[in-house]
Amino acid sequence: MLHYSCDMCKRPIDHCCEARHVVKIDVFQAVNDSADGCIEGDDFDHLDDVQELLQRIDEQDLEMLEDDVARTLRFDLCDECRRAFLKNPLGAKQSKTFNFSNN
Ligand SMILES: [Zn+2]
């Protein structure tokens, strides 16, 4: 039987009485497209880049990939940690006061 544990608190998740939540995070380099952020249209030159990229993926090992290319991170969370995660997805330090700049 598959056994899951929460990736945040490491607590085992009992799937018969508790919901397991999956968090997937895609990390990828934004396409530096100055044309108002719209990918549609006639600017499909980057398909060549994708082809190139795919060829490079064949040649390079996975360690290189991790630095270079999009990554998908996947975590299992218990219900409690899901809520905590959604409040602060990036784990940034929460300050109770907002720092407004003085200009
Ligand atoms: Zn948890």
Distance of CA 99 to the CA centre of its chain: 27
Token pair of 9, please? 């608190």
pTM for this model (two decimals)? 0.54
Q: pLDDT tens-digit profile of 48-72?
A: 777 777 776 666 565 555 566 788 9
Query: Hey, where are the domains in the chain?
Result: 4-32+42-87
Distance 57 CA to ligand 1 centre (A): 35
Measure the CA–CA gap between 24 and 47, rounded to whole angstroms. 25
Which of 86, 82, 91, 89 lies closest to 7 in space, CA to CA? 82
**Dihedral of CA 50/53/55/61: which sign?**
negative
Ligand 1 ion: residues within 5 Å (CB): 6, 8-9, 78, 81
pLDDT tens profile 14-38: 878 888 999 999 988 887 766 555 5
Q: 79 C-alpha to center of ligand 1: Å?
A: 7
Classify the C-alpha dihedral 33-39-43-48 as positive or negative: positive
- Please, are residues 73 and 24 in contact by the beta-carbon 8 Å criterion? yes
CA–CA separation, 88 vs 16, rounded Å? 27
